[in-house]
Homo-oligomer: A and B are copies of this chain.
Amino acid sequence: MGKKSKVSMAVIRRLPKYYRYLGELLDRDIKRISSQQLSELTGFTASQIRQDLNNFGGFGQQGYGYNVEELHKQLGKILGLQKTYKTIIVGAGNLGQAIAHYRGFQREGFKMLALFDINPRLIGLKLWDIEIKDVETLEDFIKENEVDIGVICTPKEVSQEIADKLVKSGIKAIWNFAPTDLKVSKDVVVENVHLNESLFTLSYLLKEKLKKDEE
């Protein structure tokens, strides 16, 4: 008990962006960076960056700034990227395959164990070294392999049903690409990628822009 004061979601959602820019700096062999410079890269204010980081500890040094390698490492730890997560994908259509193929996720420790689908034409196929399995075998597979993360890339009609199976089999994190809000027990975390909502937001912004142009 006694978690220290909870970090706000607004802060958490900025962390991956810091991590990404730090990674790029690391690749460019840049050793140190100030909050001011990081501000110019990310678009957040220097003050906000310092506030955000100080939720997790004092990673900087007065008069110097932040050590790029160290800060990158610390952010990786904060984001939980130092450990490996066993991951499965349900729905082996184009979207599921796109995620399975994406090298960046594997690199950060998300190990794709298998895809699952209901389509007999897909079952048995291998994408690189990842097999597409019968969704009937989903629950047993999760239990046997102690899968950490389930990715839902199915049509929305079956997404809740799949989520229920994932939760029942012991999965604690769901990455949901179906355009629905899943109902899950409180001890399971869900992160939604609602492409519909994203596209509609773009549509709103475009409409506003065109309206303003007319004036």
Residues in chain A within 8 A of chain B (CB atoms): 1-3, 12-13, 15-17, 19-20, 43, 78-81, 83, 85, 93-95, 97-99, 101-102, 104-105, 108, 110, 148-149, 172-173, 175, 179, 181, 187, 189, 191, 193-207, 209-210, 212-213, 215
Contact = CB atoms under 8 A, between A and B. Distances in A.
A204 B79 contact: yes
Contacts of A201: 12-13, 15-16, 191
Contact of A195 (B79, B172, B193, B197): B193
**Copies of this protein in the complex:** 2
Contact of A104 (B94, B148, B196): B196
Contact of A172 (B80, B81, B173, B206): B206
B175 A199 contact: yes
13 contacts: A2-B215, A3-B212, A12-B201, A16-B200, A19-B200, A20-B196, A79-B200, A98-B98, A104-B179, A149-B202, A189-B206, A193-B195, A193-B198
A13 B197 contact: yes
